[in-house]
Structure 1
Amino acid sequence: MRLMLAFVTCLLLPLMAAAQDVIAMLRAGVVCGPPVVGSSPAPDTIAGSTHLIAQTPPFIAEITQVPAVIGIGFGVKAQALDPDGLSGVTIIVTHPPMGDAGVTQQSYQSWISGTEPSPTFYQFDEDYERVTGTWTFTAMLDDAELFSVAFDVVPPTALPDLAGACGYGDLLS
């Protein structure tokens, strides 16, 4: 799995907290994996890089439950109050143990636009990434938490309609 580089914000969902004085909008949900146009180095991730995308994909569901299906992504869209945006933002994704090393946290550098939503997504690209349980996206600027959003990743059979929404392979295994 690779982290999707992007951000956006709009309304607060139950499992979210946001810094009201810097974040104008915050939305969370599930997406169909968009085409990847490149990658950006992210040494503090298992893959060592994050995907770059040309267009922000629409949410297929604005919920915080996610089926663990290859090709499905989930995350947030955020927008800063300051029109100049926020640079130097660290995105921290925590999750149940993953991969041979049992990694539970990955992070990378990003920014949040002040003129349009900026997406930050995690997309399931590899079977070892499809770990169920609580996943949390936290955005930090220096020592200040900008937002934190928790997702519940579940087996595909728990959300069969959403698991099949993107048309990816054998979804209910």
Structure 2
Amino acid sequence: MIRFALAFICLSAPAFAETGVFVDPQLSISHGTFCAKITEGSVDAPDTVAGKIDLYERVPQIRWQGQLVPAHEVMSFGIVSKVPDGTVLDNVTITLTHPPFSESGATTQAYTTTLGGPNTSINAYSFDFPEEMVLGTWTFEATQGDRTLYRVSFEVVNPRQLPDMVSGCLDGNLLS
């Protein structure tokens, strides 16, 4: 199953620069990895494997900026976005593409949300089950109609490649 997370709170965030990253000039983003967090509920999302997305009470802080993610149950990764002028962007589709899951074969998941307004948003993924921990390129894309708001590709790797990140979440920071 899948746990997407979505939350709204004020934060500032830088934008662009890395390979595999596109950001519409209207938004600012940061992206990276953080320790898995306890969620505060969920909303239906029928085009995801789990059929729902989980919600955070507060936007988690990206602990490791960048695009490398260890495939481990203590890890979450995603994009924090803000529309600096406070414009509300309704009917935004978040699409996540990834290598095929080992059991379901799923390669694409999507849900509709709102970005912008006075708060910062996060669209993130947490590894809940072994079938989800597939190595390779995972891409988040936010679109509104035909307009791409952002696209960020992450590389999910064997956790042995990033032991400090995994141990940073195992050493008392998990689900905090």
* Same fold by TM-score greater than 0.5: yes
Are 1:143 and 2:146 matched, yes or no?
Answer: yes
Three-state SS of the structure 2 residue aligned to 1:109 is strand
Say if 1:168 and 1:49 are closer, same or farther in 2 by CA, change over 3 A.
Answer: farther
Give the distance between the partners of 1:77 and 1:104, measured in 2 at CA: 23
Unaligned ranges ≥5, structure 2? none
39-48 vs 5-14, which deviates more? Answer: 5-14
Q: Compute the RMSD of aligned alpha carbons.
A: 1.8
Give the distance between the partners of 1:88 and 1:168, measured in 2 at CA: 39
Three-state SS of the structure 2 residue aligned to 1:164 is helix
Matching residue of 1:4: 5
Give the distance between the partners of 2:48 and 2:171, measured in 1 at CA: 25
* Residue-by-residue CA offset, 1:147-173 (whole Å, 9 max, x unaligned): 10000000100101012111179xxxx
Are 1:128 and 2:134 matched, yes or no?
Answer: no
Are the equivalent residues in 2 in contact too, given 1:30–1:72 (CA < 8 A)? yes
Three-state SS of the structure 1 residue aligned to 2:48 is coil
Are 1:19 and 2:24 matched, yes or no?
Answer: yes
* Letter matched to residue 37 of structure 1: E
Matching residue of 1:50: 53
Unaligned ranges ≥5, structure 1? none
Q: Select the residue among 108, 111, 114 that pairs with 1:111.
A: 114
The percentage of aligned residue pairs carrying the same residue is: 35
Are the equivalent residues in 2 in contact too, given 1:6–1:110 (CA < 8 A)? no
Q: Which runs of 4+ in 1 moved over 4 A?
A: none
Are the equivalent residues in 1 in contact too, given 2:15–2:23 (CA < 8 A)? no
Matching residue of 1:70: 73
Task: Compute the TM-score of the two structures, normalised by the length of structure 1.
Answer: 0.90
Q: How many residues align?
A: 167
Instruction: Give the deviation of 1:100 after TM superposition.
Output: 2.4
Instruction: Give the deviation of 1:87 after TM superposition.
Output: 1.2
Q: Select the residue among 101, 104, 108 that pairs with 1:101.
A: 104
Instruction: Give the deviation of 1:33 after TM superposition.
Output: 1.4
Say if 1:168 and 1:106 are closer, same or farther in 2 by CA, change over 3 A.
Answer: farther
Give the distance between the partners of 1:140 and 1:99, measured in 2 at CA: 28
* Letter matched to residue 156 of structure 1: P
Say if 1:105 and 1:118 are closer, same or farther in 2 by CA, change over 3 A.
Answer: same
